[in-house]
Structure 1
Amino acid sequence: MPLPAFILPAPVARIGAHLPQLPPTLALVAGLNLALDRILPRDALEPLTGKRLLMKVNDAGLALRFTFTPRGFRPLLDPRQPDLTISATARDYLALALREEDPDTLFFSRRLLMEGETDLGLLVKNTLDAVDWDALTARLPLLRHGRTVG
């Protein structure tokens, strides 16, 4: 069953913007580090090393700052201008993760915005396109469509 269209209510973004951003950033980098070398090729991400990245979840009020180092992804407490900002709604990030939408479709429909260094944006998009999501979901039964926990 496809993911329904939704946008989190505006009060969620107002509250989320005032909450500490470190806990969700730690969750993001933990997930990225779990994927590193398993589904995200470390060598392909080399150009991201030392770059300031910002992932915005617009309807949740989240602004997650992180970087990539030789040891993996790390949270970033650096308020300077990011080298690359990626913005979308929670629903669109979920659709990407579930492969219900591809990055090109979201990008060209202006639902996934990338601002900053163009080459970094292309690297992220191409890395997402290259992930073998079918192999991943085959190894993780909870991500298969139609499966429930219980």
Structure 2
Amino acid sequence: MNLPDFTLPERVARLGARLPQLPPTLLLTTSLNLALDRLLPREPLEPLIGKRLMIRVRDAGLSLRFTMGRRNFHPSFDPRTPDLCITARARDFLALMAREEDADTLFFSRRLIMEGETELGLLVKNTLDTVELPQFDLGKLAPAQAFQQLRQTLLKRSTGSADAGISASNPG
């Protein structure tokens, strides 16, 4: 699926900057923690331990501050300048996740900005380049697709429940 080129309206960024940043930060850190050892190897990421990191989604007004501890990622409430800040538009982060574009292309076209410790930025980029991520299909997030998936799930559950009820009440 090719993502259309878009930038969220400025009012979204203004609103997003006023909202609490903890919920989306928790979503990010939970996702990263689920990926640790499954998709993301822990060993190459050890230099990130104790570092202040931030993902800034410029057009959404999000500034997600987090750090990596010895065992997992967690939100950070440290207001100091992060050791590494990665900034891009929502569309560009989605394109990275969907593997439609790579970090180098976005970086050299100035659509992805890394500020702070260069070594950390290279570590993150190189780690992500070597990881075999499953294909992230953005089409599955479209409302029609999501409703279809929900409908199929509910039908399976209702059919499975009805079958279980019949077999339990009529053992054979």
Counterpart contact for 1:83–1:116, Cα < 8 Å:
yes
Two-structure CA RMSD over aligned residues (Å)? 1.3
Counterpart contact for 1:103–1:128, Cα < 8 Å:
no
More helix by share: 2
> Are 1:92 and 2:92 matched, yes or no?
yes
Alignment match, 1:59: 59
Q: Distance in 1 between matches of 2:139 and 2:86?
A: 30
Alignment match, 2:129: 129
Q: Distance in 2 between matches of 1:54 and 1:40?
A: 18
Alignment match, 2:70: 70
Counterpart contact for 1:58–1:87, Cα < 8 Å:
yes
Gaps of 5+ in 1: 138-142
Q: How many residue pairs align between the two structures?
A: 143
Letter in 2 for 1:45: L
Letter in 2 for 1:8: L
Residue 29 of structure 2: SS of its match in structure 1? helix
Structure 1 segments (4+ residues) deviating >6 Å: none
Alignment match, 2:10: 10
Residue 122 of structure 1: SS of its match in structure 2? helix
TM-score (norm 2): 0.80
Letter in 2 for 1:116: G
Alignment match, 2:159: none
State percent identity of aligned pairs. Answer: 66
TM-score (norm 1): 0.91
Alignment match, 2:37: 37
Letter in 1 for 2:8: L
Q: Distance in 2 between matches of 1:125 and 1:144?
A: 21
